[in-house]
Each structure stands twice: as structure tokens, then as C-alpha cells.
Structure 1
Amino acid sequence: MSTIVTQAQTLLGDSEARITGEAMAAQLAAWGAGEELRAAALLLPALLAGDLSVQAVRDECGERVAALCAAYAQITGAAKDPQWAGQPEALRRTQCYVAAYREPDLAFLAVAHLWRQVIDGLQGGSRQQRQARELARGALGPFLDMLGMRVPRIELEHLLSPDKDDETQEDWRQSAGEIIAALAPHLPGAELVPVDYTLMLVPTKFTQIHNLPAQGGRATQRSTHTLNIHVIVGDVDGCYQALRWVQNLWVPVEGGLIDTLNTPRLSGYRALHAAVVAQLPGGKTRINFVITPRAQYEINMWGFAAVHLRGSAPPSTPGAWWVNAEAGNAQIAAAPIGALPERLYVFSPQGQLLPFDRGSTVVDFAYHVHSDLAEQCRRFTVNGRQVEPSAVLHHLDIVELEHDVKAPGPNRLWLLAAHTSRARSAIERYLKRQGAGAHHGQKIIDDRLKTLEQHYGFNLPPEKVELALQNTVRRESFASKEDLLAAIAAGQYPVDRIFHRLFEKELLRLVDIPRALRLRPHQLHLAQCCRPTPGTEVVGRVYRRHGQAVNLTVHRQECPRIAGHQDIVPLKWRLRPQMATVARVDVRALDDDGLLGAIMAEVYARQPRVTLHQLRAMARHGSARIQFDLHADQEATVAEVVEAVRGLPDFTITDVQSLQLPPSEQAEWQELTAGSIFNPYSRLPVNEDAMFFGRAQERERIVECLRTRQPGVWLIGQKRVGKTSLLLHLKEHYLPERNFTPVFVDFQLLGHPAQTNVFYQVASNVYSSLSSEGRLDDVGAPLKSLFDDDPARRLIDYLLHVQEALGGRRLVLL
């Protein structure tokens, strides 16, 4: 044992901190640390506990050991700025990064200290174990990644996920032996090392996704066991030769090749990663090969420790963060943690320092890294806590981006949050592209809907189409309808996925399903391969489980997809009663003044042979679409109206169609033709102002409550007495005239509160309603990810932003 370590033990005596100090010193010794660093580790717990003074350490063990202990105590005890916010583990992680930039020995002292705390915590009670896991995931693990110490990192992963049985280990060894035996004859000078770990193979730079253990004492999920083979060859050329043999012997995985030989990571890591699929006795197995030059292997496994502890690598490792550690230390010392100096620096997840001006936000960080990465950012995390795009960066914050190729992308909130011209110009370009994409996506929807309506022979009501689009936005986690339209335009989301279920639901009403199958409506499907229509010969393809029918798909009888299937049942369309001549006329034209009046004039000119039942009209981007339902004495009269509209002078009519009503709407017509008495209480809520009568007292009382800023107004009554009609009347006519901006929210469409984020749905409903009316200015759509944390407060904050955009008009939720 060295003299300095012996002196340190003598100085400690029988101190309670001696056990912890000896464990830290033993760990550093195993990693190759010198005697001064081991002595500092031995004395550090006692010094932090106040049992020793720096002067006593200096007198007994020398200036170097005392300086290490004093510097570490100063870093961990330094006061942070009051503006700093984050998780306790993030603060420890920041202190470790600061120690690493200041001096190498301080970095390893920090690792040994954290390591001992995690080990002691894992041996304690359930609460201590949970805290130890949080410290390991939030501080120790990322710090080991920064230092590039992959051997201890793998050991830490095994400590956190120890549930591996002997059978799994034996299978792993056998599979690894077979792979090595197949590859070794082709690489005679290489060393093949099987490594058992479940970590991400390639260290990342700026993005990191944390899967923290579940709270409340629940066990963490077991990691997927992977098979990894390290191939150690003589030089870089040998790496590519080994890669050729690996990909010749087994099937390469698409996207499974990563080359970091010429683009080293911040930890100095350089290797070839190749993922292949091998046919083993247990079935097809994914194998991960890590191919490394022999001179680089020590750095890959030990990183910073290979240079400063083990002495097996040169200090000037290309691309490593420690090459610029001296300049980084000066930048760190410019201000306290969490301060807001004119020029501040933040850490990437892997410990790289990035400069920003005061006022910069996490959006600026994302675009500083890369525009493509920023546009696929799902959420921002600063110091272990999820933040909004407008969150301002503070000195030495640790900023992480969660990457997701399906992320909704930037919006107006991002543009308002951006501080740098680089970020603002990139967001403006993206929003301009998205605007054009949304317009193209709407055109794709309109064209596809027209094609399907012609195929099936009936129109879908516009409100059903709009509701399906809104439901898709919520279900697929798009930020807004415009993002869905842009995804459709880019080919990322198939429009048939939206429309198929709508047409399927209407058509399956007309199919007579054998009662012996005992199938419910949700178990019936309409084939998309042949798309049967009423009147065609149809059959059902039955799917069974344990002999019981569980699903049935309706096909055309001649569909080649079901040729040869045995479980086919004949089906037929239900007999539909004889009805009066009814039709839905769909007109598409340029939006010119007087268009609607001219079309209605052609209908009224043919009364009483034809009666107008219902009309819908909408205009968008200079195009108009008008739908109206006719009740005529004969089909020839409907055709006469269609031709008259098609030939209207002074108007540009692009298309006129006459189709049947959807089956769900034909029941109402059947009641009319059967002579049933009209019941005003069996219809939908009243939307038209002319059809609304009474309720004057209730309306005045509601307005009085709103003006006196009552916290809420309850409208209570029995079914079918007009509650919804009153709310719709308030929204469409009464409140807007009195300087209010009402938004109608139908909670029946939001799903069960236990399964949906109701607060986010309300905010999304407010945005959808008001943005379509052009009232929100620069207020963007709510971000669903932000509502995962304290959703009630997020909703209040969002509504306050909306209220500011409305100016003097008061927002009212109905």
C-alpha cells in the first residue's frame, strides 16, 4: 500500500466515513487511479461530513490531495443562482460536468462518489432504492457517457437491471459461440469478444430519451436482451474488410449500419456498427457487431479514463471534449450555475458546451444543433424537467431534445419563442411550407372524397367529414388540423384511413348478416380491396377463434383475395322500402357573388314538383361547395334541376352530381313518405336563428352572470327541452352581438376522462374554433406534450393567452 494512502487511513482513524472512503478508493484503484487520487477519495467523505479540515489533509497527505478535496467540496457546495430550476439529479450532473472541465482527477473523484452513493442506496429500503435509481439514471449514467467509460456504464446497467436467469445466460453464450465460430475463419488476425449488455450502441450527441422507472414503487420493465460481438482488428482498413464478411455471412438490417470511424463522438468513441439477422437454433436473432481498430478499442471502452487513469491512449484524441477542456473551464467560470449573463453557455446531454446570448430559448438551442433535428423535436427538457418552447436558457443548463420523426413540428408559438435570426428564419420557412402543404392536403381530401362518393353512390355530410378529421387529429396526436393536412400532402398519412370507416359504417347498415354468426357491429368490416357497393353480389369472409366467429369482412363475390378460402358465407343486401324520389345534389364552383341565389332560383322555379329539404354551403380558397337535398315527384325532375344548375350563365360551375343520401339519413325520409306525424322533439338541436323561440329570460340572466364575472353558469333541465339549442343560439347569435367570444365544447365527443387528456382537448377545441374564424392572431395550437404535466394549469395559461389575443372581447366556454 502506498505511503499517502496509508497516511490518509491513519488520519481517518475509526471515522464513520472511513468505510465509504475505502470503497471509493478501491473502486478508483480498480479503474487504474494513482495514489494521490485514491487518497483524496478515501478522505473526501469525512471532509464533506465536516469530520476533517482541508488544513489537516494538507498537513498529513500533502498539497495535491488537499487541493483535490477542497476543489470538489467547493464545486458541490457552490450556491446556484436563484433562477436555476430543475431536478436534484440534474444539479449533481451539472456539478460533475463542471468538475470534469476543471481537472481530470476531479471528474473521477465525482464518478467514485456518485457510484458509492448509488451502491449504498440500492442496498437500502425501497425509498432509498428508488432515489438511487433516479440518481443513477439522472446523473451517474449520463456522466459516465460523457466520460466515455463504457465498462463501468455496462456494469451500472447490470446493477439496475439484475433480473437475468441462468438459462438466458447459457443461451446467450451458446449463440455467441456459434456466431464467433462462423466469422473467425474469415478474420484470422481479429479478436472476437462477446459482450452482454443492453445499452444503446452508439452514444448520441444532442438527443436523449429517458425511460425512468415508474413511480409509486412499481417495478421497472426488463430490458431487452441483445447479443453483441466486438470485432477488434489491426487498422481502419481491417474494419471495412470485417464489415464485408459480416454482411456476406448474415442478412444486414436496413438502417443498421452506423459509421463513426471518421466522425468521432465527444467521448472519443470511433467504431463501425453493423446489425444483422442470423438464423440460430432458437430462431432468427438480431446480432450487433461493433468493429474497432485495436488502437481505438481501449478509448471506446474507457474513454477519458483511458487517457488519464490507465495511460493507454494519447491526450489529443480527435473530436473529444477534453481537447478543449481548458477553454471550456474558463467559459464555465464566467457566471454561477443558473445565472443570466450577456454571454452564457449550456450543456448538451453529452457535456458539450454551446454558447448563446442572453434571452435565447430552447428553440434556439434546437436550431443551433440542426434544423432537421429541430423540426422533429417532440419536447424540450431542461435540467430534467419538461419545459415550454419559450423557456429561456440559463448558464450551464443541461438541454435535451426528444427526437420523434412523427413530431408535429414548429408552430407559431415556436416562432414567438425564437430569439436568434437563424431559428426565426428556419421556422418561417417551415411554416410557409406547411401552409402550402395544408392547402394541398385539403385538395387531396376533397378529390378523394369525391371519388369515393361517386363509387359508393351517396354523399357524406360535411359535418361528419369534419368530425372525422378532428377525431383523427386527436387520435394521432397532431397539433392541429393543418398538421394533419400537411402530413396527408406529404404522403405520411393515408387519407383512406379516415374515409373508409365512414363509408363502411353507412354501407354495413344495408348488409343482412346471418344471425347464427352472432356478430356485433364493431366486428363487421368492409373490404378495401374490392369495395363492394349496394346491388353487387357479396359474400362474407369469416374469421374464427376457437371455432367462434370473431370478425367478418364483406367482399364482392368475385374478389380474388378470397379465392380458395373455405369459411365464406353468402350475404345479401337488405330490402329497402320503396321511397319517394330523393337526391342530394352536390355543386362545386368558383365562389362568385350571387351563386347560391342563382342555384336556389332554379329549384324554386320547379315547385311544387320539387321541394328543398336541406342546404349546406361552404367556401374556401375561392372555391364554393353547395349541397342540397331534394324531394321530387320523379327522377326526371332531379335531372332537370342538375342540368339547369350545370348550365347557369355568368358562373363557373366545375362539377354537379346527383347522388343518394347516406343510409343513416334515409330513415328520416322513410318517416316522411310513410305519413308519420312530425315530432319537433325528436330532431337535432336547432341551429337557425329563425327557428329559435322563447328563452328570453334565460338569455338575459346568462348575460348578466357573464358581465358580473360569475365563475360559472349551470344550465340544468330534462332531456329534449332545448338546452343544447339554447347553447348553440348563444354561441351563434346572442353572445357575439354583446362583445363576447363563445366557444362550444361538446364533451360527448372528447372520450372518457380516464382515457383522454380532457384539458388538452378543451384547449384544442378552443384553438380549432377560433383559428378558423381568424381571431387568434399569433396564438398557436396547444402542444399535447405540455399537458402531460399539470394539465389544469396548462389549460388556464393557454386560455389566458387566447384572452389576450381577443382584446376587449371576453372568452366564454359553452
Structure 2
Amino acid sequence: MFERLLSKIKSYNPQLDEELLIKAYTVAKKYHEDQFRLSGEPFINHPLEVAGILADIELDQTSIIAAILHDLIEDTELSYNKVKKEFGEKIANIINGVTKLDRIVFSSKEEKQVENLRKMIIAMSEDIRIIVIKLADRLHNMRTISPLSPEKRQLNAVETLEVYAPIAHRLGIYQIKSELEDLSFHTLYTKQYEKIRKMVKEKVKQRQAQIDEAISIIAEKLNEVSIQADISGRSKGYFSIYNKLTKQNRSFDDIYDLIALRIIVEDVKSCYAALGIIHSIWKPVPGRFKDHIANPKFNMYQSLHTTIISHRGDPLEIQIRTFEMHKFAEYGIAAHYKYKEGIIQPTEFDKRIAWIRQLLDWQKELKDPQDYLESLKLDLFEEEIFVFTPKGKVINLPRGAAPIDFAYQIHTDIGHNCIGAKVDGVMVPIESQLENGNIVEIIVSKTPKGPSRDWLGIVKTSNARNKIKQWFSKEERQESYNAGRELMLKTLRKNSLSFKDVPMKVFVEVAKELNYENADSLFRNIGSHKVSVHQVFTRIIKKLNQGQTVEKEIAIEDLKKPVEARRFSSGIIVKGMDNVLVTIAKCCNPVPGDKIMGYITRGKGISVHRNDCNNVLTLMKNDRQRFIEVNWDSYTPYKFNAEIQVEAIDRTKLLRDITSVISEYDLNIINASAMRSNKLGIARFRFIIEISNKYILKDIIDNLKQIGSVYDVYRVLPRKQS
């Protein structure tokens, strides 16, 4: 097997250091000597096969040697330093990078999945060959997946389809991407795979004569004008066909690029000349021409695509590119590491890895795992259109993008202050969908305006979405800070204190005790109701007492007495009355933050209702004089009952996931009930929980809505009378 690998590498790399390659093989064979794969074959076969995949795309010697050694640091006692000493720092670092990726286990837990994706992207930024070797490693594992258990095969196939194949696509390594998709497709949907394979085989058989005839005609016409070309046919990947059939709801006969002709010529001039000749022979299908030479794809893929109606009346896709473009179409970013030096200019390479740098920027900016995962998925799976600035600059955007996306692509400030757009000289709504070839001009507000939250439901680019979210996050942080300081100031004033009486170091100490970074963070969390101002005030008083004389302590204790006395109340302040029996009405279960009013009952004290409670509306008609003003006592750490309903598509472990979210808030569940509709598969859960205010309730509801298969969560309130 090694001899075959050696022969393959020498066929494209005559400058190979054969001695170093043999040394790598000898070391790998020695350390893997007693190791076997699940299939029973010697383990050494695996790294040799991975190296063979890289040799198929003609990668450099460094990549091949790193591939042969890639499992040694993880699976044997060979150390990083030993590899570095024997084979150099570059190879050792690549192997170390692959080893780190091998330790990734993708989990259904979103935070873990995001963290693992972050590790992959960091590895790509360190040396792109790390991820190329990992892709080859995954490809061989998918080729030899049969010895694994059905569950493990399914898991690996899903990982491959959702993570590895899209990354190969993003890096432009079509050869690996296509096979990864088809192998995963075969594992996950065997019947559909076999059905499509047979359909493609039959279609190719039917159209072989047409393809051969078209190749012959094109070759003859190109030869007449002295254009040397390689012409061949190729079938579309099975998974790609399956996607078009299912996601685009198309019939098998409507897939024009099922079989395509590929014409490879010497230079760009010959590409356009060949296109002109083809269009002079056959009629092109309107709207099917794409110039990816002038407008390369996100991964710098270049080619001319056209679909013609052949003399037999059937559509046929034709792709035209140079030999250099073809290498990048097949090998993508890996082409930079072919054995010859200088095959790609540094500036061109920078364009190709710009996507990776963007992802690294996002991982610094986006702290929320959900946001990062969303950005990554948007960017991995987008399909492109090309639009122009008024000055003719090409802007790549995903299909379905709006002028707002375009604005943010130009500059963040232009996006934030966008108030309108002209497309091809005509004013359009900023939520309009852009199309290929549009010339777009953004109308900007003369005064700083800021984005609208509604834009989050319009934009298609992760760039625009992230910039909008960052703007609102910054705004909300400032609003929370201001609100927190104001709440703190009011509390201090009620107790005859001010900010002057509390040294800043006291706020800092309290912030640290509550696990906040600094005083600013403490105020923000008070303002967003994540910590109660009463809790902070109590800690401040204790700290002030520690540094004062006994006389001062007594004075401060006197200040606290009214606050302590309120703890024995119901959490409600009744205007003009003390020591009165107060109860929370069970008909509407108000919680702090709700608008409330009191009703003087006959012999049972005061009953507190929500303003919109049905009973209040009824009693108001007859006993208006019995209503009295009441307010929430913000100093009382009382718990109140709130009722919520969760509606979801039923699945296993759904109840566990719901109660897990509620338990994170350390709340009591007073009552719980569940109901399932067998016909629709819909589950409804109702919980009565103890909370201290409606802001916590809102936070709980927001987090419950993030659970997979949950489609609605809401607080159960009394129905209003009509």
C-alpha cells in the first residue's frame, strides 16, 4: 500500500524528499504495529488511505507526511516534542492541530456544539492543512463506516452532512465535499439513495448518445478556431439531486444540470470565445447563464455556466473554465498547498481565507452560542447572488437578501442609518428582495437613526443580523445601566443616603460578591432586574456597618427598621393603612410588575387583583367605592404564583428539558399538568411557579421558547369579558 502511495506522489511531485516520507511511514508503522480497526485490518492502513486522498488532490509533502503521522500523538505514546525533533515544527503543529480536532465530540447541547465549531475554525486559521487532513480523515472513515453500530453510523453521517461537507464546500474542495455528501446520504437514506442512483444511471444511459454528439460538435468547432480544450461529461452528486427534488420541489426531468459538459481551456479569453461558439450552435436557455469568472463565488470558484437546448430538444448544462480554474474548482483552498511554490498569489490566498477570518471575528463579538451557531449556519449554507454599487463594485449576497443586507455589506454605519434604497434607479422598500445584476443605491439618514428590530426578520446575511443585534445589545446595556443607577439612587434616598455616602469600592465589593465584573455591571443587572435592588442595598448596609462606630451602626439599623418591618407584610403597600390583612387574588394571580388594585372584602381584609381581572371589571360596576390604591413593596422578597403554558411538538425528553430550564432559576413548581393530542402529536404543559417579579417570568418564557420543538410559551391570564 505504501509503495502505491509513494508512486502516486512521485507522479506529480518529482522533488519529493523520498527519504523523509519513508521515515514517516516507518515511524507510523512502528507505533501503530499492534493496533487494529474495527474491521480487523491493521490500523496503519487508515493513515495511508488518508494520505492517499490528499495525494489524489496533489497536496504538498508537508501535508502528506502530517497525514501519515496524524494519529500518533493521540493514539500512541509518541509525543509532540519527539515529532517536532524528527520532522520539524510545522509538521508537528499540523498533527497537534488534527489531534485537538479528533477530541471533538459533537453534542446535541448547543453550547458544546458551538464550542467545538469554534475549535475547528481556530484550527483552520492556524493552518488550513489541519482541516484539509481532518476532511480526508472523515472521508476515509465514511468510506469504511460499515463495521460501526447503526447508531454510530447515523451519528457520524449527520455530523458529516451538517459540519464537514459544508466546510469542504466553503473551502471549495468539491471533490471531497461531493463524496462526503453522497456517503452520508447513503447511510441516512439508503432507499432514496438507491432510487436516485438508478434514475441517474438510466438517464445517463438514455442521454449518452446526445452527450457524445455534443462533445464531438464542440471539439470540431473549437478546433476550427485553434482552441485546445479538454471536454468531458459529469453527473451531479446524488445528494445534490435529492436536495433539489425535496427542497425545491422539482421533478427529476426539471434538473437541467443532472448531466453537464465540462470544457477546460488554456486561458480566460478562450473561455469567452468557447461560450460564443456554443451559443452560435445552440440556443441558450434564458436566465441560465452565470459568469462566475467575472464574479467568483464566495470560495473563489470561477467558471462560465450556460444551459442550451440541444438539437434533440433536451436542455444541457455546459461549464467552461481554464485549467487553473479547474484545479481550484476541484481542490479549492487545498490547491494553495500543491507541491509547486507560487501557484497562487498571497493576495488571492487572502481572499480565499477571508471567510475564516470573518468567523474568527464573530466568535470574539458574539457571546451568545445561539447567535454564533446561527451566523455559522447562515454562512455555511448560503446561495449567492451578485449585485452592484452605483460605481460598479460587485457585492456578493445570499439569495433572498434585501437592500438592508447590501447596506451593512458596504459599511456598518450605512446599515444602521439606512432609510431607503434605489434598485436600478427606482425607489423600493428596504425589505425588497434583490436579484442578480441589480444596481443598488442606499439612502442614508442625515441624522444618526439606528436600526429597527423589525430588520432582524428581514435580513438574510449573518453580517447584517449580527451588527443589528450588537447595536441593540449596546443600547440595552446603556438603558439597563441608567435604570439600575436610578433604582439604586431612589433606594438610597428613601433611607436618607446618597451616592456620596457610599464609596465606590463598596459597590465594587458587592459586585464581586454577586459574581459581577464591576460596579457598572452591577447597575446593569439591577436595571434589567436580574438582581434585586433590595439585595444589593442590604449588602451595602452591612459593609457600611463594618467600617463605622457602634453609634453609627445603631443609626443605620434605625434606617433599616422600616424595611425589616415590611417583610412581615404580604409584599403589598396599602395606601393609608397599616397592619391590614392582605391576600393575593387567586382568580388572576398578580405578580410584581403587574398593574394592581385592592378590593376591600367583607371580613377578609383586602384582596389584590390585576387591573384587567374579570372580577375587577364586574365589581367595578356595583362596588366601585370598595376599591383602594395598592402598590408593590419593592423591598419585600416575597414569592408569588404565576401560571404559564408551554405548547410543543411532542418528543422524548421534552418534559425534562422544560423543567430543566425552570429549575435553573431555583424556583418552586407548585403545580404541573400535561395533555397530549395523539392525532396532531402536540403536547401542552401548564405550570404554576413561584416568582418574585414579572421580569423573571419574562426571562423564563424567553428561555423556554428556545427549547427544540417548543412553538409557544405564554402566561395564562384571565380572559377579558367582551
TM-score per shorter chain, which class? 0.3 to 0.5
- How does the TM-score come out when normalised to structure 2? 0.46
